[in-house]
Amino acid sequence: MLSISDLAGRAAPLSLVLIAVLTVSACTPTSGDRMGFASARDQAGAVNLERRAYAVEVAKQMRAKRQRVWCVPFARNASGIDIRGNAKTWWSQAKGLYARGHQPKVGSVMAFSATSRNPLGHIAVVSGVDSPRQIRVDHANWERNKVSLDMVVVDVSEKNDWSRVRVMSNPGALGRVYPITGFISKG
């Protein structure tokens, strides 16, 4: 029989983040997805902090092992959208499995089109909708091997259809224009 002090001694190495994630997941009703987490949207307009924390923790573990942190596993972990393969294939793979559209919603995955400068495409999870033409995203490997949270993205398309965006990689400075295929969500 283990005593409370034995359990406390064994639990000491656990990080506060892990304890918080385990506590929250034990108290959160599941929606049937494999990870046992709540849906990608906890409530209207709010990012799922549990999924975000999990995605960030996995990325930290990968970096600690000197493994590359890619956008695809990060987005899959943060959104709960279970698609695999290069980012440029997500839009076509989502057809018939997930909702696809051209307006951002919190928790949806923004699919960047493949280009000559970005041949594998890119994906990011919408973490906030600030206005009809500005959102925030969480993503990995926009800056090599790093996770970026709440990065500002601005719609610069002529038709206001989110087909072309600029990303604020540096505070106060928008980068080049990137083509967007659309947004993938659980529905």
Query: What's 27's domain CATH number?
Result: 3.90.1720.10
- What is the DSSP track for 164-180? EEEE--BTTB---EEEE
Task: Identify the residue whose tokens are 């930290």.
Answer: 60
Please enumerate in sequence order all residues whose Cβ is within 8 A of that of 173, keeping only pairs 6 or more positions apart, or say none.
Answer: none
Residue 82's pLDDT is what? 97
Is residue 36 in some structural domain? yes
**Total structural domains within the chain:** 1
Is residue 3 in some structural domain? no
Is residue 81 in some structural domain? yes
Is residue 6 in some structural domain? no
- What is the DSSP track for 117-138? SSTT-EEEEEEEEEETTEEEEE
Residue 170's pLDDT is what? 86
The whole-model pTM stands at: 0.76
140: helix, strand or coil: strand
Per run of 10 residues, the mean pLDDT along the chain (length 187 residues) is 41 40 35 34 67 97 96 97 97 98 98 97 98 98 95 97 96 94 95
Is residue 123 in some structural domain? yes
Is residue 157 in some structural domain? yes
Tokens of 16: 């506060």
Is residue 73 in some structural domain? yes
Q: Which amino acid, residue 94? A: A
Tokens of 10: 């064994």
Q: Which burial class, exposed, middle or buried, applies to 103 when counting CB atoms under 10 A from its CB (0-12, 13-18, 19+)? A: middle
What crossing angle do the helices spanning 16-27 and 49-64 adopt, rounded to 10°? 140
Report which of 77, 159, 158, 176 is spatially closest to residue 123, judged by C-alpha positions: 77
DSSP state of 65: T
Whole-angstrom distance between the N-terminal and C-terminal Cα of the chain? 48
Is residue 146 in some structural domain? yes
Domain boundaries, position 101? 15-185
